[in-house]
Amino acid sequence: MKQFAQLIEKLDSTNKTNQKVAALASYFEEANEEDKLWTMAILSHRRPPRPVNTTLLRSYAAELAEIPLWLFEESYHIVGDLAESIALVVPNDIHSSDKSLSTILDELVLLKPKTDLEKKKYVQDMWMQLDYYSRFVFTKFLTGSFRIGISQKLMTKALSQVTSVPQDELAYRLMGDWEPGTTTFDELVFGRNEQAYVSKPYPFYLAYALENELEELGDVTEWVAEHKWDGIRGQVIARKGEIFVWSRGEELVTDKYPEIAALVNFLPDGIVIDGEILAFIDGQIGLFNDLQTRIGRKNVSKGILQKVPVIFKAYDLLESNGEDIRAFSYVERRALLEDLVQKTNHPALHISEQMQFSSWEEVTAERELSRDKRSEGLMLKKKSASYQVGRKKGDWWKWKTDPLTIDAVLTYAMRGHGRRTNLFTDYTFGLWQPNEAGELELVTFAKAYSGLTDKEFAKVDSIIKKTTLERFGPVRSVTPTLVFELAFEGIAFSNRHKSGVAVRFPRILRWRQDKKIEDANTLDDLKALIPE
């Protein structure tokens, strides 16, 4: 554990990517096989299931620190990270544990079914026996996703340096359905486990947002365009008589979308399709908002299947007849995909319409139609492009529609997390709406916490501290004085929101210091943006 904690401390102690990679590489050279495997699992978000809920963890920590629970909670609001708060408050005198990373993680796997009393003893003992960084890392395992600013890409890079396996190949090997209990380091990195490969997806090819003028892409006839559909990016895999549906977040979602799983009897063997899971209601592509009602559900009821049916809109073909065809050109893959979709002829499998243009002006005109077609904008793909690994520039670009915007008033603020610890950076915004007496009041409609510079955040933070009305734990209500222009991607009516409206990806476009709160928009202005 100490070795892993030291790695995390080293990664924390530098802002330079090269040094992070070097620290990871030297760790991978020194650590034992089991620890290496667990490290790869943790850094690719495969931590053991949470063995203790966080309410219990808080009470264990407060007890050990001999402070009242409210004081622990207040500290947590300020520190901004639960694991870090715990590591900071519990007393730390004996650093006797030299358990390895893999031993501890194996113990955590076994901890889940135990009684609360056993859990408490184990967790408190561990806290007392670990040094500060080990305790922080250990608690991170308990509290949730292990996000510490180390991307999977960075880890893959370091691993590639140590193993000499190319990065793209490693990215592929680390995808899909594996955990430290089901494989070994050698098997995962060098070997080939047939069973695991049946369900394994390919790394997604992702596009950057278009940076330059369209004309700079060159000859328009070398490109095709598609609409950028607003659902869940996914891969459908048909191998050995089985079907697997993966989301881009590397979550296996086959059971959540039985409409797509039904393709198992229609697709030929050895097929991997890249596409988008979309709500499809009354013969029309649904809004992301519709799809959202299905995302969180474990059990898919008949009612919801009828209300929000889904389809898979195919973008690309990555494997055909059991062969990895990612190196083929887009045009070649597209021909095979069209052929496949046509032959499969199934109502849940659609193909994303491909468009060819003779001028960039036509492309621009098509983008204007995006909102009506319920897409987020256009994807531009080069005909000669292979299917690449991860986010790459050059051959694929996304060109989203300009966001919708509205001027709103800041009403509540919450302390941020991570590098915004101890600063009020998460805001709630309201729009004007007449109440029963006909007086205008602010109705909350969105939260946003990105879009300002560090300097602006610092200024807004100090205004919030000066204009605080009430405190509710980490949240403060403020006297409304600040107006911000908010941007968002989509908008729909919603009965889950107080305002009756749901907006997608709200973020701060700019601080309107030139506007008074009376100049902000009304809720009716917002509703007028909702498409028919």
- Residues of this chain that interact with another protein (CB under 8 A) are 12-16, 65, 67-68, 71-72, 74-75, 78-81, 84-85, 88-89, 149, 416-423, 454, 458
Residue 68 or 249: which CB sits closer to another protein?
68
For another protein, the closer of residues 15 and 299 by Cβ is: 15
Q: Parallel, antiparallel, or unpaired for β 440-448 and 483-488? A: unpaired
Structure tokens at 319: 């494997």
Count of beta carbons in the 10 Å neighbourhood of residue 514: 7
Most distant pair of Cα atoms in the chain: their distance: 73
Q: How far is the CB of 89 from another protein (least distance, A)?
A: 5
Q: What is the dihedral of CA 223, 224, 229, 234, to 10 degrees?
A: -80
CA 213 – CA 342 distance, rounded (Å)? 36
Burial class (CB in 10 A: 0-12, 13-18, 19+), 441: exposed
Nearer Cβ to another protein, position 425 or 521? Answer: 425
For the bound state, the minimum distance from the C-beta of residue 76 to another protein, rounded and expressed in Å, comes to 8
Q: How far apart are CB 119 and another protein at their closest, in Å?
A: 23
**Cα-flanking dihedrals φ and ψ of residue 333, to 5°?**
-65, -40
- What's the DSSP call for residue 423? S
Q: Are 188 and 40 in contact (CB under 8 A)?
A: yes
Q: Could you tell me the two tokens for 263?
A: 């393709």
Beta carbon of residue 237, minimum distance to another protein (angstroms, whole number): 38
Q: Are the beta carbons of 349 and 314 closer than 8 angstroms?
A: yes
In terms of CB distance, is 12 or 168 closer to another protein? 12
Shortest distance, CB of residue 185 to another protein, whole angstroms? 29
CB of 127 to another protein, least distance (A): 14
Instruction: Write the CB contacts of 244 (distance below 8 Å, at least 6 apart in sequence).
Output: 198, 199, 201, 235, 236, 237, 252, 254
Residues 6+ apart with CB under 8 A from 72: 58, 61, 62, 65, 85, 89
Closest residue by Cα to residue 270 from 318, 234, 326, 315: 318
CB nearer to another protein: give 74 or 456: 74
Which C-beta is closer to another protein: that of 458 or that of 528? Answer: 458
Taking the complex as a whole, how short is the minimal distance between the CB of residue 71 and another protein, in angstroms? 6
Phi, psi at 218, each rounded to 5°: 95, -145
Nearer Cβ to another protein (72/280): 72
d(CA 44, CA 146) in angstroms, rounded, equals: 9
Looking at the Cβ atoms of 71 and 469, the one nearer to another protein is 71
Taking the complex as a whole, the smallest distance from the CB of residue 65 to another protein amounts, in Å, to: 6
Cβ-based nearer residue to another protein, 14 or 265: 14
Strands 468-472 and 490-493 turn out to be unpaired
Q: How far is the CB of 132 from another protein (least distance, A)?
A: 9
Q: Which is nearer to another protein, 418 or 531 (CB)?
A: 418
Cβ-based neighbour number of residue 482 at 10 Å: 24
What is the 3-state secondary structure of 458-522?
HHHHHHHHHCEEEEECCEEEECCCCEEEEEECEEEECCCCCCCEEEECCEEEEECCCCCHHHCCE
Nearest approach, Cβ of 3 to another protein (angstroms)? 18
Q: Which residues share a beta bridge with 441?
A: 433
Closest separation in Å from C-beta 417 to another protein: 7
For residue 446, what is the enclosing H or E element?
strand 440-448
Determine which helix (DSSP H) or strand (DSSP E) holds 427, and give its type and residue range: strand 424-434
Residue 481 C-beta: closest distance to another protein, Å: 20
Considering only CA atoms, give the Rg of the chain. 26
* Residue closer to another protein (CB basis): 16 or 192: 16
Tell me which residue of 122, 245, 103 sits closest to 180, measured CA to CA: 103
Nearer to another protein, 50 or 417 (CB): 417
Residue 86, phi-psi category: left (phi > 0), alpha (psi -120 to 50), beta (remainder): alpha
Instruction: State the nearest-atom distance from the C-beta of 258 to another protein, in Å.
Output: 43
- Return the number of the residue (82 or 189) whose C-beta is nearest another protein: 82
